[in-house]
Amino acid sequence: MTKNNVIVVTSGKGGVGKTTTSANVGTGLAKLGKKVCLIDTDIGLRNLDVVMGLENRIVYNLVDVIEGNCRIKQALIKDKRHPGLYLMPSAQTRDKSAVKPGQMVKVIEHLKEQFDYIILDCPAGIEQGFQNAIAGATRALVVTTPEVSAIRDADRIIGLLEANGFEQMDLIINRLRPDMVKRGDMMSSQDVVDILAIPLIGVIPDDENVVVSTNQGEPLVGNATPAGMAYQNVVQRIEGKDVPFMNFEKSISFLAKVTGIFHRV
Amino acid sequence: MRFWFRKKSSCQIAKDRLKILLISDRVNCSQEMLELIKADITKVISKYMKIDTENMDIQISAKKGISSLCANIPIVDIHKQCQAAEGK
């Protein structure tokens, strides 16, 4: 495993798409043939399992591993759809104080030997849950939406990550609406990058297919949907490939044409 | 409507608000505190030289994890004051 492959997905604010991003990035990397371990660190409010469609297969969880109730291997759920993809679910009936940063580091040290990537889904907030999630990570994906509240929280998170010695932080702008940007009612991805001043690794358009995929419990990365393609690009960039950013205006006009045809019929 | 009244776009309003908001967030320091610092600095420096308090500017900037206090203080007369100090 190379140096910076323990990645925490964080945002500060809740509901901006951390879990969706974790699921899609993890699945996308597994689709490229990597061995990936997704860890849900949101203790008490676990969700990565439902987004991944693996909620019925949980036996042991992260807290069981830390308390020594089971071996690490027993808590890992293998995703049968993608070879090499595993999920370590969080505990639902406990709270954040059940885990300490030092214990997280230990678990990750163990997992590092067996996986190419470890993706940590961070809870919202900047309290202990956040400290637990970032403890073992060396790289961060900061998720934000083009809204004042989310950007403010992302800025705070970036400051905290810097203070914790993170060298590699990349920005994902989620739920961008090109039509609103065009008429001056939403900050563009460039505006957000100018404010937050960290490298951009992905722009995910606002896409209803994300809701459909969450309903089905199957991440949409790599599908022929705007968000699916955008997540696929993020995965490629994490792998170090230089992928050009999508031109949403083009895809919008294409979509508008298609829907226009249907409206006429 | 926006065209006729030349209203600022909501995107521009958001950017302007964020710029101001993040400066105070990043340094964890309010405008009132800056005013107090400014008053104290003026008091100390005025002991030694005559400064232009109207045009002095004090700001805190934070970049790459390092915060710094930048003060731009125009001096009106340094020579006279120094001589007076030596004279004492």
Find chain B residues with C-beta within 8 A of A148's C-beta: 14, 17-18, 21
Structural domains in chain B (count) = 1
Residues of chain B found within 8 Å of residue A181, distances taken between Cβ atoms: 11
Distance in angstroms between the alpha carbons of the first and the last residue of chain A:
54
Arithmetic mean of pLDDT, B36-65: 82
Tell me, what's the pLDDT at A265?
A: 46
**Is A163 part of the contact surface with chain B (CB cutoff 8 Å)?**
yes
Q: Which residues of B touch A159 (CB under 8 A)?
A: 26, 62, 65
Tell whether the model's pLDDT for residue A11 goes beyond 60.
Answer: yes
Show me where the domains of chain A are located: 6-264
Residues from B in contact with A at Cβ < 8 Å: 9-12, 14-15, 17-19, 21-22, 25-26, 62, 64-65
Q: Which H or E element spans position B36?
A: helix B31-46
Q: Is the pLDDT of residue A243 over 50?
A: yes
Tens of pLDDT, residues A37-70: 999 999 999 999 999 999 999 999 999 999 999 9
Distance, CA of A90 to chain centre: 15
In chain B, residues with a C-beta closer than 8 Å to the C-beta of A183 are 9
Q: How far is A250 from chain B (nearest CA, A)?
A: 21
Answer whether A185 sits within 8 Å of B11, measured CB to CB: yes
Position B48 scores a pLDDT of: 87
pLDDT of residue A31: 97
CA distance A192 to chain B (A): 9
pLDDT of residue A84: 96
Which pLDDT value is given to residue B22? Answer: 86
Across the interface, whether the CB atoms of A152 and B14 are under 8 A apart is answered no
Give the one of B10, B15, B65 whose C-beta lies nearest to A163's C-beta: B65
Rounded average pLDDT over A197-208: 96
Say yes or no to pLDDT of A175 above 80: yes
The yes-or-no verdict on residue A1 having pLDDT over 70 is no
Q: Which CATH class, in words, describes the domain spanning A6-264? A: alpha beta
* A121-130, A169-178, B20-29, range with the lowest pLDDT: B20-29
Contacts of B14 in chain A (CB under 8 A): 147-148, 187
Tell whether the torsion through CA atoms of A90, A95, A101 and A103 is positive or negative. Answer: negative
How far is it, in rounded angstroms, from Cα A60 to Cα A263? Answer: 50
Q: How far apart are CA A193 and CA A199, in angstroms?
A: 7
pLDDT, tens digit, for every residue of B13-47? 999 899 888 877 777 666 677 788 888 998 898 88
Query: Hey, are the CB atoms on B25 and A155 less than 8 Å from each other?
Result: yes
Residues of B in contact with A187 (CB under 8 A): 11, 14-15
Chain B hits for A168, Cβ within 8 Å: none
d(CA B24, CA A26) in angstroms, rounded, equals 36
Does the distance separating the beta carbons of B26 and A159 come in below 8 Å?
yes
Q: Judge whether A159 is closer than 8 Å to chain B, CB to CB.
A: yes
**Identity at B43, one-letter amino acid code:** K
CB atoms within 10 A of CB A111: 21
- Domain assignment of residue B53, given as a range: 2-87
